[in-house]
């Protein structure tokens, strides 16, 4: 048997050994398990990174707390500050756009543009000209010659944007203007689908007027600068060039007249116009070649429905975006176009149940018109009912 003095010496030695080991462990940097060069077979089912992330910070805090309490050290100088808490900020600007409240107002850029920039040099020297207007065509390669002819009628003041519904964007490089145009290629989509997704008002804000045109328009009698001069002269917020009369012309309002520069009213067939200041006798343009002011487009864009891609019904509704619409929406007769009626996009449909591709497209157009009108009517009804209820509640609380 060991003598009592030897037992006591052993206990004291063990105690000091534990204390020294503890102090050495918390003095040296924490060893990262995931950085140790150990065979993976030693830890076959343990996620070391998870363990480290979950427990290391907590252990450090406790150990340093114990160390500082026993040794009286100022740990402020020895360990880094805790990670920045992104929920704490000295900046909060409620008037900033939603989601950007934490930014100082002077750094917030709410609008963009479609100007093409260089990859080198001083950004302030990128643009030799800032186009004032935007023209878009929704195109297929088969109509390239017609589109080429049309775009030659638009001056250098226009940014050109082509929406390619057939996926053949790269083949337009044969045209010199194509190299400075913006090409968006997504198969089998309509111009209103493109417009909703790529012509947000904050993106096209630099442009005073936005042309959203079809590809099958003859422009022999059209000049873009002269057209806009007439639009500005008459204060039109939404307009279109007059259409040369043709067999399939539907509306009297959009037919070109020879005795005037601009017209804003028309006589339609009996029963078509309950009010002479409402569509289709006034405040009306077709959706094949509309031209929107910046202000009007900001409203019209919000009216376009994501799932109603053909835009049928918009021509009867855009008046809601313009005050005194029967005076601010008109047809420019001095600059007119020809609707060639090429059913190119219609042929992008799919034959079903013995029907031709264009027949299915036309059926959807009519269906969308009804759906759009129902949505608009229901939205207005809901708004008016809610307003009446709020007004009644306000009177009761007076």
**Residue 249: CB partners within 8 Å, gap ≥ 6?**
243, 255, 339
Q: How deeply is 313 buried, as exposed, middle or buried, from its count of CB atoms within 10 A (0-12, 13-18, 19+)? A: buried
pLDDT digits (tens, 9 = 90+) for 258-309: 999 999 999 998 888 989 999 999 999 999 999 999 999 999 999 999 999 9
Statement: residue 64 has pLDDT above 50:
no
Confidence of residue 183 (pLDDT cuts 50, 70, 90): very high
Asked, for residue 46, whether it belongs to a domain, the answer is no
Give residue for tokens 């077709």: 286
Distance CA 281, CA 259 (A): 18
Confidence of residue 105 (pLDDT cuts 50, 70, 90): very high
Of 206, 195, 17, 196, which Cα lies nearest the Cα of 113? 206
pLDDT score of 62: 47
Asked, for residue 114, whether it belongs to a domain, the answer is no
pLDDT score of 96: 96
Range of the domain at 330: 133-343
Q: How far is CA 363 from CA 192, 269, 357, in A?
A: 17, 25, 10
The CATH number for 306's domain is 3.90.550.10
Token output for 245 = 């009369």
Statement: residue 45 has pLDDT above 70:
no
pTM over 0.85, yes/no: no
pLDDT score of 30: 44
pLDDT digits (tens, 9 = 90+) for 213-264: 999 999 999 999 999 999 999 999 999 999 999 877 889 999 999 999 999 9
pLDDT score of 61: 46
Task: State the CB neighbour count (10 A cutoff) for residue 355.
Answer: 14
**Residue 11: CB partners within 8 Å, gap ≥ 6?**
none
Asked, for residue 264, whether it belongs to a domain, the answer is yes
In terms of phi and psi (left: phi > 0; alpha: psi -120 to 50; beta: otherwise), the region of 313 is left
Asked, for residue 239, whether it belongs to a domain, the answer is yes
Asked, for residue 76, whether it belongs to a domain, the answer is no
Q: Where are the alpha helices (DSSP H) in the chain?
A: 4-27, 48-71, 144-151, 191-198, 224-234, 294-303, 314-317, 325-328, 357-396
Distance CA 358, CA 347 (A): 5
Asked, for residue 63, whether it belongs to a domain, the answer is no
Asked, for residue 337, whether it belongs to a domain, the answer is yes
Please count the structural domains in the chain. Answer: 1
Per-chain mean pLDDT for the chain: 84
Q: How deeply is 265 buried, as exposed, middle or buried, from its count of CB atoms within 10 A (0-12, 13-18, 19+)? A: middle
Range from 77-86, 195-204, 231-240 carrying the lowest mean pLDDT: 77-86
Token output for 60 = 């450090």
Range from 124-133, 343-352, 357-366 carrying the lowest mean pLDDT: 343-352
Asked, for residue 146, whether it belongs to a domain, the answer is yes
């Amino acid at each position: 048997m060991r003598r009592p003095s030897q037992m006591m010496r052993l206990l004291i030695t063990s105690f000091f050994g534990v204390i020294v080991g503890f102090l050495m462990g918390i003095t040296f940097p924490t060893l990262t398990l995931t950085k140790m060069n150990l065979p993976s077979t030693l830890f076959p089912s343990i996620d070391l990174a998870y363990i480290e992330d979950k427990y290391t910070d907590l252990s450090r805090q406790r150990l340093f707390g114990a160390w500082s309490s026993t040794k009286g050290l100022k740990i402020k100088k020895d360990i880094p500050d805790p990670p920045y808490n992104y929920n704490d900020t000295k900046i909060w600007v409620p008037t900033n756009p939603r989601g950007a409240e934490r930014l100082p107002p002077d750094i917030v850029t709410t609008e963009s543009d479609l100007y093409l920039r260089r990859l080198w040099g001083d950004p302030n020297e990128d643009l030799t000209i800032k186009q004032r207007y935007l023209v878009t065509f929704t195109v297929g390669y088969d109509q390239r010659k017609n589109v080429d002819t049309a775009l030659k009628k638009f001056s250098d003041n226009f940014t050109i944007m082509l929406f390619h519904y057939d996926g053949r964007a790269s083949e337009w490089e044969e045209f010199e203007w194509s190299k400075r145009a913006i090409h968006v290629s997504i198969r089998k989509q309509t111009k209103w689908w493109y417009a909703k997704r790529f012509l947000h008002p904050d993106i096209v804000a630099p442009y005073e007027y936005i042309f959203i045109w079809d590809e099958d328009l003859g422009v022999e009698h059209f000049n873009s600068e002269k057209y806009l001069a007439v639009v500005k002269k008459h204060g039109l917020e939404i307009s279109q060039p007059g259409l040369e009369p043709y067999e399939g012309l539907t509306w009297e309002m959009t037919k070109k007249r020879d005795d005037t520069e601009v017209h804003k009213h028309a006589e339609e067939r009996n029963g078509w116009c309950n009010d002479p200041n409402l569509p289709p006798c006034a405040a009306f343009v077709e959706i094949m070649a509309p031209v929107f002011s910046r202000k009007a487009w900001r409203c019209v864009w919000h009216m376009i429905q994501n799932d109603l891609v053909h835009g049928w019904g918009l021509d009867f509704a855009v008046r809601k975006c313009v005050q005194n619409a029967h005076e601010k929406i008109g047809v420019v007769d001095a600059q007119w176009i020809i609707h060639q009626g090429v059913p190119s996009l219609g042929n992008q449909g799919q034959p079903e149940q013995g029907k031709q591709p264009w027949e299915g497209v036309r059926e959807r157009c009519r269906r969308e018109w009804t759906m759009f009108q129902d949505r608009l009517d229901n939205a207005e009804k809901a708004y008016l009912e809610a307003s009446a209820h709020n007004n009644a509640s306000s009177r009761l609380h007076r």
